[in-house]
Amino acid sequence: MTTRTASDSNDPIVESRDQLAIPMIKGEKPKDRWRIGTEHEKFVYRTADHRAPSYDEPGGIRDLLMALTRFGWEPVIEGGPENGRVIALSGSDGAISLEPAGQLELSGAPLENLHQTCAETGRHLKQVKEVGAELGLGFLGLGMWPDKTRAELPIMPKGRYKIMLQHMPRVGTMGLDMMLRTCTIQTNLDYASEADMVQKFRVSLALQPLATALFAASPFTEGRPNGYMSYRSHIWTDTDPARTGMLPFVFEDGFGYDRYVDYMLDVPMYFVFRDGQYIDAAGQSFRDFLKGELPALPGELPRLSDWTDHLSTAFPEVRLKSFLEMRGADGGPWNRICALPALWVGLLYDQGALDAAWDLVKGWSIEEQQTLRNAVPSEGLDAPAPGGGTVGQLAHRVLDIAAAGLAARGEVNSMGDNEVGFLEPLRRIAASGKSPAHDLLDRYEGSWNHDLSKIYDELSF
């Protein structure tokens, strides 16, 4: 999630609704400037007892962050010089930040190709493993804590999280699970124009459940099977309906920046950031803010940075800011971190592949898309696909399109390898016909003999 440390008091005041499309318009880039941003979260645990460490304890999350500064990362402080806390790190590889219960996230730098993305991921994991070995910490790649209750998890000292944790139970039954018990991998991609954004948004939104099925890795809750392939994906169905979901309006005629602005104006606010502090505005309306009638800041008009913050508080399956975010995948092992951007870059960054993917999904009705989204969390690759067959069968066609798109890009490394090889983990999953969660359940019933502690031995980075 976004980490803010400055109030941006010099930002323009938003005096007209027309200004609200500015971040999206500024996101437009010619193809030679398109970049790849990859975000990945991981669970942090004590190797001695698998407990989730708190922020302040010796060898805990704060010490982890500070130890990483040896690699050139700079601390990001929230709360001012006297009582501030290190809540993130910034560096040439992007930013390292904390999710609400101490999940560690790398928000990678915008990179030109997947070879760079995978090298960045490798550097990050090498660094955290080195520090983790010294502090007695391990790192687990899954979509959800397999064995922790909410009560067993710490809360990180970030201002926006306090507001969100208070608000979530008012609007859904599983928002706290989303915040405290889940991890994801995300890919952020560019667009050339409003029309290009629309086509990419539609293709990626329709196919987001396919990514969920290929990456599904959260079949356990509090030490037992939960009946889902991706419980993380299921959690989003009752987190906050005002800011989540499949966004049917994206497929309506005339969709573009202005329609997305309308959607975001209808998403209730969480906060306003002023003078280094988060002011609780949970449930209040940005439309009222535009009129100077926000109860949290009466008489004050928003700044453009307030709108940028607000854009980060909606959580649909695909999110538009100044780029498009692919949000459907569970957290997973190292090779799947590289595979997710390979899937979406292959589909969206070559026009031939993008057109082929659009041809595949353009006949799907809104009802069929929602049925697919509803089925995938529990059924994974076995879920029925629109038009017949299963999601697993659909995956082969989609991966072929993505592979052709990656080959067409012609991005090779020093060995002469192109980017197509990064799809191989997904090829193996599709060939097996089973989502990764199936394999975890097989181990649970087989070699683990219902002892879920084995997951730390076999699934840690």
Confidence (pTM): 0.97
pLDDT at 276: 85
pLDDT at 3: 59
pLDDT at 56: 97
Intervals of the chain under pLDDT 50: 5
pLDDT at 11: 87
Residue with tokens 């090298």: 119
pLDDT tens digit string along 241-295? 999 999 999 999 999 999 999 999 999 999 999 988 999 999 999 999 999 999 9
- Parse the chain into domains and list their residue ranges: 17-459
Tokens of 171: 């609007």
431 near 423, Cβ under 8 Å? no
State how far the Cα of 382 lies from the Cα of 372, in Å rounded to an integer: 11
pLDDT tens digit string along 287-327? 999 999 999 999 999 999 999 999 999 999 999 999 999 99
| 17-459, CATH topology level | Creatine Kinase; Chain A, domain 2 (3.30.590)
What contacts 24+ positions apart, CB below 8 Å, involve 263-269?
263/314, 264/20, 264/310, 264/311, 264/314, 265/20, 266/242, 267/242, 267/243, 267/310, 267/313, 267/314, 268/242, 268/243, 269/294, 269/310, 269/313
